[in-house]
Structure 1
Amino acid sequence: MERTEREGRRPANDGPKAAARNRAALVAAAREVFAEQGLEVPLSAVARRAGVGQGVLYRHFPDRTAAVAAVLEENVRQIEQAAESDGAAFADLLGVLTWHLAESAAFIGLLHADPSGDRSGIRVHASALSERVERALRKRLPDGHRLAGANDLVLAVAMVSAAVTGHSHEERKRRALDAWRLLAVEVGPVRPFDG
């Protein structure tokens, strides 16, 4: 049980505020734990990293699929928001994409999802999210860009994401940037979209 330092009792329940904070902490923790240990890590590790009990985890995410889907949805939403922001250049959007590739192992799997033969529905969902990423990128893709060909953008993203390996965020980021450099594609600052 969590107790306050002076009074020796639990802090007051913040209701919906606490639920929103817990969900955000769980998504951030899931992203980190999945990136470090893979998607098959026990969900108890996610709850521990978020600083919540397993009951709180299961109230937000009844199973692994729901936790992975929440991480993927947030990744895609940030890329879509970056594409909609005023003055965003294609290179800036690639910087956000690259941050997510370096940060989230689950996101890489999404970009390679094949919905055929999927019984759980997660690959179909992942395929739809992947299409949303492509649409967001195409919004900022300049005419005549080297990736403007019919499948060039999708292929380039797949090639870069396949190169993103390593034990640390920095190592994965470096490999992604090296892959973009080999494709002669400019990438803006590698960071999450913060609105």
Structure 2
Amino acid sequence: MATSPRSNRGPGAAAENRAALIAAARAIFATHGLDAPLSAVARQAGVGQGSLYRHFPTRSSLAVAVFQENADELEAIAARPGSTLDDVLRAITDQAIVSTAFFQMIEIERADDAGQELARKIGSVLASKLPDARSSGRVPDWVTGDDVQLGIAMLVGALAKTAVGDRRAVAARAWALLPFGPG
């Protein structure tokens, strides 16, 4: 629900405003995609656009702040003893079902340093799990990290055009077509 901007409470409210902007952007991007108007984010956070741009001077900087949590979650899964490529791909699928914006942002923002860093994190997570997947015979030897990232991009493209309620079934069908989809 959109709220009207609060009165200016000064610098003491900066952390609270930043958190409200990130939460609002997560919801707006999930519903309307990465191209949603930033004015809607400010409105939902209950702050003015000036506050939005003080914290996040670019759309990319806001998107990176929103989706850092997604990347951190994938890193944590990959760091667990015994975790597999399938575990990471299931988590990616769950994240994409909720919002395709994170993965779209990684593809779009590769020219931006922060976007590149998120893309590197995801690439590193995938690369850390691929050797074990190959050696166990779960993934063919010819599959590269770039192939897995391409598969994720294809999945996200399909999910972006799918009603939220149908995304899990579409994701299962899409992964079934690839030799490295989560089992």
- TM exceeds 0.5? yes
What SS does structure 2 have at the residue aligned with 1:112? helix
Q: Which residue of 2 aligns with 1:192?
A: none
Q: What are the residue-to-residue correspondences of 1:16-165 with 2, within 5 Å?
A: 19-113=14-108, 115=110, 121-122=111-112, 125-141=114-130, 142=133, 143=135, 144-146=137-139, 149-150=143-144, 151-165=146-160
Give structure 1 regions of 4+ aligned residues with deviation exceeding 6 angstroms.
none
**Letter of the 1:88 counterpart:** S
Distance 1:72 1:147 in 2: 31
Provide closer, same or farther for how the CA distance between residues 40 and 71 of structure 1 changes in structure 2, counting only shifts above 3 A.
same
**Cα offset, 1:160, TM superposition:** 1.6
Distance 1:39 1:30 in 2: 9
Q: Which residue of 1 aligns with 2:182?
A: 186
Q: CA RMSD in A?
A: 3.3
Provide closer, same or farther for how the CA distance between residues 38 and 158 of structure 1 changes in structure 2, counting only shifts above 3 A.
closer
Summarize deviations over 1:33-57 as a string: whole Å, max 9, x none.
1232233322121122234443442
Distance 2:140 2:64 in 1: 28
Provide closer, same or farther for how the CA distance between residues 65 and 127 of structure 1 changes in structure 2, counting only shifts above 3 A.
closer
Distance 1:160 1:167 in 2: 11
Specify every segment of 5 or more residues in structure 1 that has no aligned partner in the other structure, as ranges: 4-9, 116-120, 188-195
What SS does structure 2 have at the residue aligned with 1:164? helix
Distance 2:27 2:63 in 1: 12
Higher relative contact order (CA 8 A, sep 6+): 1
Report the TM-score, using the length of structure 2 for normalisation. Answer: 0.71
Percent identity at matched positions? 39
Alignment coverage as a number of residue pairs: 172
**Cα offset, 1:139, TM superposition:** 1.9
What SS does structure 1 have at the residue aligned with 2:61? helix
